[in-house]
A and B are shown apart, each in its own frame.
Chain A
């Protein structure tokens, strides 16, 4: 009875994206230490993270640029620069602070912490 814009396919996509990209970073689903340049490879579901990242980049008015993204997201920058054993915890903290401060981006309908969106953007940039 209740309307749903999400069919089974989009629901699967929703699940993939959330579990793969956002929740992956949040829940410490990181397979190995996270040097900055390799952050994109750490997502469990890299294609979904890339898709979110591409959508986010497309919403930006400026030319996508890795350094600009990191400069715009100092909490993410610090997390990715942290010692590898602290990366997941710092990512979680960065995301929580973003949400607390209202630093969010709506990407493909998802309400994401800016750090999450930027992380996905970095993944998309390769």
Chain B
């Protein structure tokens, strides 16, 4: 059921078995696992059911490293969390992503990929995508084949798209509303986590509304599920007993911030103007699952070259003034009762491309969707998504500035390493080799990639993937949480979400967030004796 802290008297004390702070993908997934079980769950959500400017402003912070999205833009603070603007891209991490790689400092998860296999399968259904297979042979069809890469060099990585993207707050709201043993407390901001005098047991959570109502939670288990920026903030702010913050005895909370750097890094000029690229150039449906294929370096190649994970998708040039896309822009704008962004251009393209409009409207089907005509006289641009090397200097810290609740805001210092750049360079050389070997084109680096080992253009941005800041390790000196996502040195405090990733691979994080949340829920069921 849903309750609202604004409707409660100051001083309210809520007792529960499990308190989950944050109602995003991780928090909602865990809470749902306890519906109908003899366990009381309280989900504490800062926002309401809809976005609110004042609450969203609590996310404001400083960018002090590489340019990044504004911190109150890159995430959403209301029920459903950042799934409310999720793009829906899904793929599981690979075996190599969990491994300790001698060439990647601080790499290695305390669990293997197989520990998540069954959870990934369930996660696929929760994010509402297709079956848990990512073998490109399964997904190609007559129109969309994939390059016959040498498997020790490159692979075709399948991404399944949740389409429309599953907004957890919308899709699972009714489940939680009906649940007798799960309460969702809205408009309740966590001010800090209380602990015992040795900071080994989390006792509860202090809460406040923006209007001044104060309350507290007493819980047997506390789960911090606030995302990769806010989870470390909350641990750092919980410093009444442990001056450095809970779980921060080794100065790791907030460090090792990881993203997936996104940027165009080179061009492929096709010497084969045929249809070979369609599987990489187009999103397409297969068995009602929307697929996007990208190219990636294989695990063997990463090991042989000593590189991080690399992937890129094709930005294949199309005839610039195609009529049907313009028609779609205009139609969508009408449907949403909003002024189109480029109305004059769209109208012109539609009028001068009526044939293409007709093809798009009448010549397509759900299984054979429209694609604009390609123009391979221009190079295919490679839009790259990289794995980052874990770096303790890439971090989130508290600043002196305070938010409306009086809590210190954060600064994000996003940094890169030489391995990041070297990985990009070597991975792209492999791309050049493979497309040359296949006889379909020649690859050219963008100049900045070869310029040096350290610099990155300001245009490089992230994917709104905030990871690594409460990293997982069996060793308390190398990680904030252990393999069960429990904060080292604490009996009953857990972190859920991508903050716990010690490394990130190159695939999008949400599917793994959900899989790890399911695994944590199973751990807690065992802890409470209801497995």
Using a CB–CB cutoff of 8 Å, the interface residues on chain A facing chain B are 2-6, 11, 14-15, 18-19, 22-23, 26-27, 92, 95-96, 98-100, 102, 104, 106, 108-113
User: In whole angstroms, what is the CA distance A102 to B433 when docked?
Assistant: 6
Kindly report which residue of chain A lies nearest to residue B153, judged by CB atoms: A102
Q: Is B128 an interface residue (CB 8 A)?
A: no
Q: Using an 8 Å CB-CB cutoff, how does the interface string of B351-378 with A read, 1 for contact, 0 for none?
A: 0000000000000000000000000011
Tally the A-B contacts, defined by beta carbons under 8 Å. 92
28 contacts between A and B (CB under 8 A): A2-B263, A3-B457, A4-B381, A5-B446, A5-B447, A6-B267, A6-B446, A15-B269, A18-B269, A18-B271, A18-B444, A22-B442, A23-B271, A23-B442, A95-B436, A96-B436, A100-B150, A104-B429, A106-B432, A108-B444, A109-B446, A110-B443, A111-B429, A111-B431, A111-B433, A111-B436, A111-B444, A112-B432
Q: Is the CB of A106 within 8 A of B445?
A: yes
| Residues of the A chain whose Cβ atoms lie less than 8 Å from the Cβ of B378 | 11, 15
| Residues of the A chain whose Cβ atoms lie less than 8 Å from the Cβ of B269 | 14-15, 18-19, 23
Kindly report which residue of chain A lies nearest to residue B434, judged by CB atoms: A99
- In the complex, besides A18-B442, A96-B439, A110-B432, 12 extra interface pairs with C-beta distance below 8 angstroms are A2-B264, A2-B381, A5-B446, A6-B267, A14-B379, A15-B379, A22-B271, A26-B439, A95-B436, A96-B436, A111-B429, A111-B436
User: In whole angstroms, what is the CA distance A114 to B378 when docked?
Assistant: 25
- Which of B150, B429, B436, B460 is close to A113, meaning CB atoms less than 8 Å apart? B436
Kindly report which residue of chain A lies nearest to residue B451, judged by CB atoms: A5
Q: Is B459 an interface residue (CB 8 A)?
A: yes
- Which of A11, A96, A100, A111 is close to B442, meaning CB atoms less than 8 Å apart? A111
Kindly report which residue of chain B lies nearest to residue A24, judged by CB atoms: B271
Kindly report which residue of chain A lies nearest to residue B458, judged by CB atoms: A3
| Residues of the B chain whose Cβ atoms lie less than 8 Å from the Cβ of A23 | 269, 271, 442
| Residues of the B chain whose Cβ atoms lie less than 8 Å from the Cβ of A113 | 436
Q: Is the CB of B450 within 8 A of A96?
A: no
Q: Is the CB of A99 within 8 A of B433?
A: yes
Q: Is the CB of B443 within 8 A of A3?
A: no
Q: Is the CB of A3 within 8 A of B442?
A: no
User: In whole angstroms, what is the CA distance A15 to B267 when docked?
Assistant: 11
Kindly report which residue of chain A lies nearest to residue B437, judged by CB atoms: A99
* A23 CB to nearest B CB, Å: 4
* A123 CB to nearest B CB, Å: 17
| Residues of the A chain whose Cβ atoms lie less than 8 Å from the Cβ of B112 | none
Kindly report which residue of chain B lies nearest to residue A104, judged by CB atoms: B433
User: In whole angstroms, what is the CA distance A4 to B449 when docked?
Assistant: 12
| Residues of the B chain whose Cβ atoms lie less than 8 Å from the Cβ of A26 | 271, 439
User: In whole angstroms, what is the CA distance A96 to B434 when docked?
Assistant: 10
User: In whole angstroms, what is the CA distance A111 to B377 when docked?
Assistant: 19
Kindly report which residue of chain A lies nearest to residue B445, judged by CB atoms: A109
User: In whole angstroms, what is the CA distance A95 to B271 when docked?
Assistant: 14
| Residues of the A chain whose Cβ atoms lie less than 8 Å from the Cβ of B381 | 2, 4
| Residues of the B chain whose Cβ atoms lie less than 8 Å from the Cβ of A112 | 432, 436, 442
- Which of B271, B431, B448 is close to A5, meaning CB atoms less than 8 Å apart? B448
User: In whole angstroms, what is the CA distance A112 to B436 when docked?
Assistant: 8
Q: Is B413 an interface residue (CB 8 A)?
A: no
Q: Is B383 an interface residue (CB 8 A)?
A: yes
* A112 CB to nearest B CB, Å: 7
User: In whole angstroms, what is the CA distance A104 to B434 when docked?
Assistant: 11
* A32 CB to nearest B CB, Å: 21
Q: Using an 8 Å CB-CB cutoff, how does the interface string of B118-141 with A read, 1 for contact, 0 for none?
A: 000000000000000000000000
Q: Is the CB of B436 within 8 A of A99?
A: yes
* A116 CB to nearest B CB, Å: 9
Kindly report which residue of chain B lies nearest to residue A29, judged by CB atoms: B271
User: In whole angstroms, what is the CA distance A110 to B431 when docked?
Assistant: 11
Kindly report which residue of chain A lies nearest to residue B383, judged by CB atoms: A2
User: In whole angstroms, what is the CA distance A15 to B376 when docked?
Assistant: 10
| Residues of the A chain whose Cβ atoms lie less than 8 Å from the Cβ of B267 | 6, 14
| Residues of the B chain whose Cβ atoms lie less than 8 Å from the Cβ of A102 | 433
B446-482: which residues lie under 8 A (CB-CB) from chain A? 446-448, 450, 457, 459-460
User: In whole angstroms, what is the CA distance A7 to B372 when docked?
Assistant: 23
Kindly report which residue of chain A lies nearest to residue B447, judged by CB atoms: A5
- Which of A2, A3, A104, A108 is close to B436, meaning CB atoms less than 8 Å apart? A104
User: In whole angstroms, what is the CA distance A54 to B446 when docked?
Assistant: 20
* B341 CB to nearest A CB, Å: 12
Kindly report which residue of chain B lies nearest to residue A110, judged by CB atoms: B444
User: In whole angstroms, what is the CA distance A108 to B432 when docked?
Assistant: 13
* A24 CB to nearest B CB, Å: 9
Q: Is B72 an interface residue (CB 8 A)?
A: no
- Which of A3, A4, A96 is close to B437, meaning CB atoms less than 8 Å apart? A96
* A99 CB to nearest B CB, Å: 4
User: In whole angstroms, what is the CA distance A4 to B443 when docked?
Assistant: 15
Kindly report which residue of chain B lies nearest to residue A113, judged by CB atoms: B436
Q: Is B4 an interface residue (CB 8 A)?
A: no
| Residues of the A chain whose Cβ atoms lie less than 8 Å from the Cβ of B429 | 104, 106, 111
* B105 CB to nearest A CB, Å: 26
| Residues of the A chain whose Cβ atoms lie less than 8 Å from the Cβ of B431 | 111
